[in-house]
Amino acid sequence: MKKLYVVGNRASKSLSPMIFNYWFKKYNIQASYGYLELTEKNFHKKIKEILEKKNTLGLNVTIPFKKKIIKHLGKIDAHAKKIGAVNCVTNKKTINGTNTDWTGYYRTLPNIKKTKNRKVVILGYGGASHAIHYVLKKRGFKDILIFNRSKKKIKYSNKTKYTKTYSNLDTHLKGVFLIINTTPTNPILKKHLKLISKSTIVSDIVYNPKNTSFLKQFPTNKKIYGISMLIEQAKPCFKMWFGKNPSVDEKMLNAIYKKI
């Protein structure tokens, strides 16, 4: 039986095993999906061991190992190279890595044609944020503002640019089309709320709980929930491993929503 895992420092909290094992049962696939909860100290040793096992077919990699995994791969695709992170590993004849976070987020975005002059604010600039920034650039958004606790150099720019600090948020929230929270906390304070329009779309990549403390502040705004990104990034992984596009049905969604 082929085995697959989600790898991270809090992997036991992940919903990925629930999603993939549901699909295995649905499509009668002889495989199992579990989790590997690793530390910075034992990561390289344990990953090497698991990838050397013949029955290990693939991995999903999450915080904080999306960069560290690259050392163990024979090849990574162009998107993962540009983003600088891998979240999906296929262990067949060779060990290959890709990034499906960006496609996952792409599929959650509303279908809008004119993106050039719409302002987007990204909160946080870690690995998932890089993938989201990448897809926004690909979608044609030009006015993207990134805020982070510490000063970081911004990727995908011809000029040298750095992230802004949260203390400057006040002056950039008016007229924002989309605000994306990529942090596990809530950087939006009460004083910021009156500056944000009710027509602004709000998005959080945290999926448990579904309605995060960040999203709760916007009861009437259109929302993009983190669970949507999780499911959408899982689909291309399943396709790479088993050659089939999995579908999401009501029974699966009900089980997930019950869990979160």
3-state secondary structure the chain: CEEEEEEECCHHHCCHHHHHHHHHHHCCCCEEEEEEECCCCCHHHHHHHHHHCCCEEEEEECCCCCCHHHHHCCEECHHHHHHCCCCEEEECCCEEEECCHHHHHHCCCCCCCCCCCCEEEEECCCHHHHHHHHHHHHCCCCEEEEECCCCCECCCCCCCCECECHHHHHHHCCCEEEEEECCCCCCCCHHHHCCCCCCCEEEECCCCCCCCHHHHCCCCCCEECHHHHHHHHHHHHHHHHHCCCCCCCHHHHHHHHHHC
Q: What pLDDT sits at residue 157?
A: 82
Q: What pLDDT sits at residue 167?
A: 92
Q: What is the mean pLDDT of the chain?
A: 95
Residues belonging to the active site: 66
Average pLDDT of 32-40? 97
Q: What pLDDT sits at residue 202?
A: 98
Q: What pLDDT sits at residue 186?
A: 95
Rounded percentage of the chain residues whose pLDDT exceeds 70: 100
Average pLDDT of 24-43? 97
Q: What is the pLDDT of residues 109-125, one digit of tens each?
A: 988 878 888 999 999 99
Q: What pLDDT sits at residue 179?
A: 98
| Cα dihedral 181→184→189→190 (10° resolution) | 90
Rounded percentage of the chain residues whose pLDDT exceeds 90: 92
Q: What pLDDT sits at residue 127?
A: 80
235 has a pLDDT exceeding 90: yes
**pLDDT band at residue 33 under the 50/70/90 scheme:** very high
Tell me where in the chain the CATH 3.40.50.10860 domain(s) lie.
Answer: 2-100+228-259
Average pLDDT of 210-237? 96
Assigned fold of 2-100+228-259: Rossmann fold (3.40.50)
Average pLDDT of 165-172? 94
Q: What pLDDT sits at residue 158?
A: 82
**pLDDT band at residue 259 under the 50/70/90 scheme:** confident
Q: What pLDDT sits at residue 113?
A: 79
CATH number for the 111-221 domain, one of 3.40.50.720, 1.10.10.410, 3.40.1390.10, 3.40.109.10? 3.40.50.720
**pLDDT band at residue 1 under the 50/70/90 scheme:** very high
Average pLDDT of 190-196? 95
Tell me where in the chain the CATH 3.40.50.720 domain(s) lie.
Answer: 111-221
42 has a pLDDT exceeding 90: yes
Average pLDDT of 187-199? 95
Cα angle 185, 119, 66 (rounded to 5 degrees) comes to 45
